[in-house]
Amino acid sequence: MLVGYSSSSEDDAEAGSEAEATKTRRRSSQKSVNKEDESNVDFPAKKKAKLKDLALKTRLPVPGCLLDMFPDEDALQTEDSSLHGGRVRSFKHERGNWATYVYFPYHPEEEFESLMEELLLLSQTRGLVLTLQEEFHLSLSQTVVLRHHWIQPFAQSLRKSLSHCKRFLCSAERLKVYCNAEKTRTFLGMEVSPGHAQLLDVIQAVDKTMIEFQLETFYKDPSFHVSLAWCVGDQTEKMKQILQELQ
> What is the CATH classification number for the domain harbouring 229?
3.90.1140.10
Same domain, 47 and 160: no
pLDDT on residue 44: 56
Does residue 112 fall inside a structural domain? yes
Same domain, 112 and 179: yes
pLDDT on residue 74: 44
Whether the Cβ atoms of residue 214 and residue 176 lie closer than 8 Å to each other:
no
Same domain, 116 and 227: yes
Please list the helix, strand and coil fractions of the chain in percent, rounded to the nearest 5, in that order: 50, 15, 35
Whether the Cβ atoms of residue 140 and residue 202 lie closer than 8 Å to each other:
yes
Selecting among 84, 107, 149, 225, the annotated active-site residue is: 225
- DSSP codes of every residue in 116-146: HHHHHHHHHHTT---EE-SSEEEESS--EEE
Determine the Cα–Cα distance for residues 67 and 63; give it in Å rounded to an integer. 7
Does residue 182 fall inside a structural domain? yes
Selecting among 93, 107, 137, 196, the annotated active-site residue is: 137
**Phi/psi at 173 (nearest 5 deg)?**
-125, -25
Does residue 85 fall inside a structural domain? no
Same domain, 155 and 236: yes
Same domain, 52 and 140: no
Same domain, 109 and 22: no
Which residue ranges of the chain lie beneath pLDDT 50?
1-15, 33, 36, 39, 41, 66, 73-78, 84
pLDDT on residue 101: 95
Same domain, 234 and 151: yes
Does residue 71 fall inside a structural domain? no
Q: The pTM is what?
A: 0.63
pLDDT on residue 100: 94
- Identity of the residue numbered 147: R
Whether the Cβ atoms of residue 190 and residue 223 lie closer than 8 Å to each other:
no
Whether the Cβ atoms of residue 116 and residue 228 lie closer than 8 Å to each other:
yes
Q: Which domain holds residue 205?
A: 97-246
Does residue 42 fall inside a structural domain? yes
pLDDT on residue 28: 53
Does residue 65 fall inside a structural domain? no
pLDDT on residue 96: 83
137 is catalytic: yes
Same domain, 129 and 217: yes
Same domain, 35 and 105: no
Does residue 28 fall inside a structural domain? yes
Same domain, 45 and 103: no
Domain count across the chain: 2
- Domain edge (last residue) among 42, 58, 74: 58
Give the C-alpha distances (Å, rounded to integers) separating 206 from 110, 139, 192: 32, 11, 18
Same domain, 35 and 135: no
Does residue 86 fall inside a structural domain? no
25-47, pLDDT tens digit by residue? Answer: 555 555 554 554 554 545 556 55
Same domain, 155 and 205: yes
Q: Taking the CB of residue 133, how many other CB atoms lie within 10 A of it?
A: 18
